[in-house]
Amino acid sequence: MKKLSYTMESPNAPPVQRNWWVYVVIVLVCVVNFLPYLWVVMTGFMDGATSASATPTWFFTPSLEAFNYLISEKGILKNFFNSVVVSLASTFFSVTIGMFCAYALARYDFPGRDDVSFWVLTNRMMPPVAVLIPIFVTFQTAGLLDTLLGLIILYTAMQLPFVVWMLTGYFRDIPRRYEESAMVDGDTWFAAFRKVTLPVMAPSITATAIFVMILSWNEFAFATFLTSNQAKTMPPAIMAYSIGADIRWNVLGAAVVLITAPLILFVLLLQRQFISGLSQGVVRK
């Protein structure tokens, strides 16, 4: 009977027979998972004629035609800029505001604490479509349709439950006496919080912020229905290049490159935190 190793990175795992078929399966899965994306990215660097051919071309001279078209004729940099502003601002606000709420939930035991924490979570259970129409109508009345401000407010609210919920767990892990000793030395609560707690929390806050930023960057449904021209972000803008009978595939490819570039960069830079945070965050649920 062959032995199995049971834990992901267990140091005392038994030696394993290296079956070649395992490699074949894993490589095959990697190819299936990665190839479609790679192909679209390659298409983005083709010229119009190459990308329009029905026969796949694997070797070609790279061209920036599609990027030129998107930037100079379609003004996609404006959408890109909108996306950057909206995701940065909503991340900043949701993390800053949610941090204090998480701190209160982790540190203080007050009547109704569990109810508040549960209520915050239920906001995330609601399907976005269920609130789309009321928000549309409200935004219309408040003049927030097609404004960056409207999107920032909405995304901040959307991400808050997630931020509160992730950070509460992290705050609980930090011993309270760190802050207390700083306050005994004469600091105000806020100074102690800033000087002692925040630096310890920095990695967790960064991880949370990255998640929130990615979620805001990718948000599609609200961005589609609440913006039309001025505040249009990348997702609805890119959607526009894929509709219609005569799609220019290299333009679609270039658009996909532009919207995924920041994500891929993030993931490559922060691979380890990203994966562990991803599994931890969900297991905490």
Partner 1 sequence: MSISEHTTATPTLAFGQRGFLSRFGPSNRTIFPWVLMAPTLIILFALGIYPFLYSLYIASHNVILSKPYIPQFFVGLYQYQAVVQDPEFWHAMRKTLFFTVQAVFIEFWLGLGLALLFQRQLRGIAYMRIFILIPMILPPLVAALIWRYMFYPGAGLMTYYVGGITRALGLGEIPFLSDPNIAFQTLVFVDVWEWTPFMFLMLSAGLASIPRQPYEAAEIDGAGSWRVFWTITMPLLRPAILIAVIIRTMDAFRTYELIVIMTRGGPGNATTTLNVYLTKTGLEFFDASKAAALSLIMMMIIIVMSFVFIRVFRSKTELAE
CA neighbours closer than 13 Å in the CB half-sphere of residue 207: 17
Minimum distance between the CB of residue 159 and partner 1, rounded to whole angstroms?
Answer: 10
- Contact mark string toward partner 1, 82..101, x via CB under 8 A: ---------------xx-xx
CA angle at residue 249 from 245 to 250, to 5 degrees?
145
Residue from 184, 198, 240, 261 in contact with partner 1 (CB under 8 A): 184
Does residue 195 interact with partner 1 by CB under 8 A? no
- Work out whether the CA dihedral 266, 267, 273, 275 comes out positive or negative: positive
Angstrom distance (rounded) from CA 214 to CA 237: 17
Residue from 157, 206, 270, 273 in contact with partner 1 (CB under 8 A): 157
Q: Are 151 and 86 in contact (CB under 8 A)?
A: yes
Instruction: Pick between residue 176 and residue 230 the one whose CB is nearest to partner 1.
Output: 176
Residue from 129, 240, 265, 269 in contact with partner 1 (CB under 8 A): 129
Site for partner 1 in 207-266 (CB under 8 A): 217-218, 220-221, 225, 235, 238-239, 242, 247, 249, 252, 256, 259-260, 263-264
Does residue 138 interact with partner 1 by CB under 8 A? yes
Q: Kindly provide the b/e burial profile for residues 161-174, where b requires at least 16 CB atoms within 10 angstroms of the residue's own CB.
A: bbbbbbbbebbeeb
Site for partner 1 in 96-125 (CB under 8 A): 97-98, 100-101, 103-105, 107-110, 113, 116, 119-120, 123, 125
Site for partner 1 in 265-284 (CB under 8 A): 267, 271, 275, 278-280, 282-283
Residue from 6, 59, 229, 246 in contact with partner 1 (CB under 8 A): 6
3-state helix, strand, coil in the chain (%, to 5): 75, 0, 25
In the chain, the amino acid numbered 284 is R
